[in-house]
């Protein structure tokens, strides 16, 4: 089905259209959830809650911007709401499920580096990790992050700065990047 037909089908509660839409977008959205979650179960719960919202709010999509971007925004908000609601601060890391991480280059070393960086991001304290994900990866402004997380804009900025420093130290400690120019280039790439 073409995208508009999927949207129309979902608006009309067509189970086949809903299944097809879910199958089309869930792999990318699940990898997004893994960046916020501590484990597979939490990520799947975030995804499920997000798609419930997608299906219940699909009638509000106005064909302004990309449909995938609209879904992504709902999923990000679902992840934030899940973290706020459940306050799960478990330290487990299940990177095996982050295979759908988007990378610009399709070579093994780049894919491995992306998975290692995701693993290290997931080791950050929840506040730092959430701000880093929202700012550097999802493109939210510090003002928007402050509103989403009920924190001051300056708190978002300071948590982001601290997250970059801690993440760089983790990456150096795990020998993923070296303590040289590579480190400076990598941190600069986080904006």
Say how many domains are in the chain: 2
What's residue 104's pLDDT? 45
Calpha distance 181→191 (Å, rounded): 16
Q: Are 75 and 29 in contact (CB under 8 A)?
A: yes
Domain match, 106 and 189 both: yes
Instruction: Give first-to-last CA distance, the chain, whole Å.
Output: 38
Instruction: To the nearest 10°, report the CA torsion of 128, 129, 134, 137.
Output: 120
| 191, pLDDT greater than 80 | no
Higher pLDDT, 26 or 169: 26
| 185, pLDDT greater than 60 | no
The residue out of 89, 122, 137 marking a domain boundary is 89
Domain match, 46 and 121 both: no
The residue out of 36, 65, 89 marking a domain boundary is 89
Calpha distance 130→82 (Å, rounded): 12
Residue whose structure tokens are 């303590």: 179
Q: Is 94 contained in some domain?
A: no
| 75, pLDDT greater than 90 | yes
Query: What pTM did the predictor assign?
Result: 0.73
pLDDT digits (tens, 9 = 90+) for 2-39: 889 999 999 999 999 999 999 999 999 998 998 888 78
| Least confident among 63-72, 89-98, 103-112, 180-189 | 89-98
| 80, pLDDT greater than 50 | yes
**CA separation (Å) from 183 to 99, 149, 164?**
24, 29, 11
What's the CATH code of the domain at 159? Answer: 1.10.10.10
Q: What is the domain extent for residue 106? A: 101-191
Mean pLDDT over residues 40-60, rounded? 94
Domain match, 21 and 51 both: yes
Least Cα distance to 100 among 31, 21, 33 occurs for 31
Calpha distance 69→103 (Å, rounded): 17
What's residue 18's pLDDT? 95
What is the torsional sign of CA 180, 186, 189, 191?
negative
Confidence label for 171 from pLDDT (cuts 50, 70 and 90): confident
């Amino acid at each position: 089905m073409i995208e508009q037909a999927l949207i129309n089908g979902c608006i009309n509660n067509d189970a086949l259209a809903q299944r097809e839409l879910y199958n089309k977008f869930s792999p990318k959205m699940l990898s997004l959830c893994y960046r916020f979650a501590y484990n597979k179960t939490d990520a799947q719960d975030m995804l499920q809650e997000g798609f419930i919202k997608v299906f219940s709010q699909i009638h509000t999509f106005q064909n302004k911007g990309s449909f995938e971007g609209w879904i992504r925004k709902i999923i990000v908000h679902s992840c934030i709401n899940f973290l706020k609601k459940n306050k799960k601060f478990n330290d487990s890391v299940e990177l095996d499920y982050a295979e759908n991480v988007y990378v610009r280059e399709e070579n093994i070393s780049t894919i491995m580096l992306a998975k290692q960086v995701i693993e290290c991001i997931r080791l950050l304290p929840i506040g730092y990790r959430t701000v880093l994900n929202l700012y550097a990866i999802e493109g939210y402004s510090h003002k928007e992050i402050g509103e989403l997380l009920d924190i001051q804009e300056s708190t978002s900025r300071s948590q982001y700065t601290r997250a970059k420093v801690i993440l760089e130290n983790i990456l150096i400690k795990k020998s993923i990047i070296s303590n040289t120019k590579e480190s400076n280039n990598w941190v600069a790439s986080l904006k």
